[in-house]
Amino acid sequence: MFENDKLEKIQAGEKAYKEKLDKLTQKRPERRPEFKTDSEIVIKPVYSPSDIADFDFEDKLNFPGSYPYTRGVQPNMYRGRHWTMRQYAGFGSAEETNKRFRYLLDQGQTGLSTAFDLPTQIGYDSDHQLAKGEVGKVGVAIDSLLDMETLLDNIPLDKVSTSMTINAPAAILLAMYIAVAEKQGVSQDQIRGTIQNDVIKEYMARGTYILPPEPSMRLITDIFAYCAEHVPNWNTISISGYHIREAGATAVQEIAFTIADGLAYVKAAIDVGLDVDKFAPRLSFFFNAHLNFFEEVAKFRAARRIWAKLMKERFGAENPKSLMLRFHTQTAGVSLTAQQPDVNIMRTAYEALSAVLGGTNSLHTNSRDEALALPSEESVLIALRTQQVIGYEIGVTDTVDPLGGSFFIEKLTNDIEEKALEYIQKIDDMGGAPDAIEFMQKEIHQSAYKYQKEVESGEKVVIGVNKFQMESPPPEGLLKVDPEVGKRQKDKLEKLRSERDNDKVKTMLEDIRKAAHTTDNLLPYFVEAVKAYATLGEICGVLREEFGEYQQQIVF
């Protein structure tokens, strides 16, 4: 990329600079002996063309909207339209969450993102004994189509896209969404949205799994096939690094393990006979935006490049959309502190800016009070306004990939790519992500331990926690979930079961039981069952009985 004679002059100048710097630091040492990113990538004092001397523009960078998509998946990115501003919301009952959804849409949010409570995430109805004390606590309780109808009341599903953070029972929640759309007169090919549907990362980092890997992968590929034919605008999976990062992974581990998971899903789909260019365009990803600003920007760029090359070279994908890594970003929940919670506003703003400069396709900004409670309406509004200020006021959206070409950013992108590919090769050597779960867990645990030690020693500064502490009164106006929501959900279930056609429900559940032992796609069975008001717990109960439950392996 650079002429040899010019490089030689630059390198001579760099040598003189280093000599000058060495003299200076001998008199006045720098703040730290060595500067590193969270992924242990050493950061130099300054970067120059010699750091990317062999840089191939077309292979590594190219133009936005062109392979390998390092600079973004669209030629004009945010000059065309902003990223989807999609605030994660869900608490208590479907009625309460619907109210929050409509408030956010009124404030300019451009898509919905649904948080489900723990019983819903692991396939139990609100009246199950294991649901006691958890109903509506960390998200909305959805037991049946009746709840989903309430959740989406007066929200036009042909105009608003919806993301659902749901994994093990994702196919059933998707079936409910399809059924609500039909009741609204919206056909399946008109609805837009995303289900997370990433079970491998549940085994690895998050824990809301139900079935063992083999039947779980079967459900995932059933969703791929069904949506390719019937729901073409639906993102069938959001391959999620977010929770891997929240569990303690570094930026490099986050994209390496996430992409390894993605490769496993693609392989599973191809193995059951699906055409890669039919389902791959609807794959999407979900990443974390953490506090090491430049590393995060470079991470997003490296992830797009790695995915494009692996899809092309490993699976022979030809459709450009199959090569494009489209992703949602959420700011880092683990970076929020209970101490001095207003400081979280600044943390979230910088994290969000890194996601935008890294070319995210949609974004959730965390609220200042989320280390203490589910966010209040006031805090959610500040978080949404943070995105709107970035999008409309500060000029960063006026050109595409504004940090592209920076010697530092390009070198850091290359370094992250190289380290992530080393991890992916290790995982490949183990047989792929499903066979490398314990390895990835150990790596995450070790990184989390190292990070926590650095915070406790003061090596890593966290404002308000280990530096610049101050006494402050507890914040007021925190959101509190009504403790009666569990009782109301139980009453609703009892009423539902007394009024529905229970013989029809029994027949539908038996159909699912039989289909589980065939190669039939299970999605149509789920759609018919939820239309008859079979509950989430009843359907998941059949799957548990037929496929068994996953038993977590504890590793250290």
DSSP state of 341: T
Angle at 453 between CA 452 and CA 459, to 5 degrees: 105
pLDDT bucket at 474, cuts 50 / 70 / 90? confident
Report how far residue 403's alpha carbon sits from residue 496's, in angstroms, rounded to the nearest whole number. 56
Q: Do 149 and 286 lie in a common domain?
A: yes
Q: What is the pLDDT of residue 64?
A: 98
Between the CA of residue 507 and those of 169, 174, 278, 291, 416, what are the distances in Å?
A: 20, 21, 33, 52, 53
In one-letter notation, the amino acid at residue 264 is: A
Q: Do 202 and 270 lie in a common domain?
A: yes
Note down the domain range covering 11.
1-31
* 172 located within any domain: yes
In one-letter notation, the amino acid at residue 214 is: E
Q: Do 447 and 531 lie in a common domain?
A: no
Q: Which residue has the tokens 């943070």?
A: 386
Q: Do 165 and 243 lie in a common domain?
A: yes
Is residue 505's pLDDT more than 80? Answer: yes
Considering the entire predicted model, what is its pTM? 0.94
Q: Do 409 and 521 lie in a common domain?
A: no
- Tell me how far the alpha carbon of residue 175 is from its chain's centroid: 21
Q: Do 100 and 20 lie in a common domain?
A: no
Q: Which residue has the tokens 């490049």?
A: 305
Q: Do 380 and 522 lie in a common domain?
A: no
Task: Give tens-digit pLDDT for 135-150.
Answer: 999 999 999 999 999 9
Cis (ω within 30 of 0) for the bond into 68? yes
Burial readout 101-118 (b: 16 or more C-beta within 10 A, e: otherwise): beebeeeebbbbbbbbbb
What does residue 160 show for φ and ψ, rounded to 5 degrees?
-110, 130
Q: Do 218 and 300 lie in a common domain?
A: yes
- In three-state form (DSSP H/G/I as H, E/B as E, the rest C), the secondary structure along 105-150 is HHCCCCCEEEEECHHHHCCCCCCCHHHCCCCCCCCECCCCHHHHHH
What does residue 230 show for φ and ψ, rounded to 5 degrees?
-115, -30
Q: Do 424 and 333 lie in a common domain?
A: yes
* Count of domains forming the chain: 3
- Tell me how far the alpha carbon of residue 76 is from its chain's centroid: 24
Q: What is the pLDDT of residue 554?
A: 66
* 115 located within any domain: yes
Q: Do 202 and 267 lie in a common domain?
A: yes
pLDDT bucket at 183, cuts 50 / 70 / 90? very high
More confident residue, 521 or 2: 521
Task: Give tens-digit pLDDT for 318-364.
Answer: 999 999 999 999 999 999 999 999 999 999 999 999 999 999 999 99
Q: Give me 515's structure tokens.
A: 């289909």
Average pLDDT over residues 164-178: 97
Q: Do 3 and 98 lie in a common domain?
A: no
DSSP-assigned beta bridge partners for residue 115: 165
Helix or strand or coil: residue 319? coil
* 458 located within any domain: no
Average pLDDT over residues 292-302: 98
DSSP state of 36: B
CATH at 237: 3.20.20.240
Burial readout 277-289 (b: 16 or more C-beta within 10 A, e: otherwise): bbbbbbbbbbbbb
H or E element, residue 163 = strand 162-165
Report how far residue 49's alpha carbon sits from residue 45's, in angstroms, rounded to the nearest whole number. 14
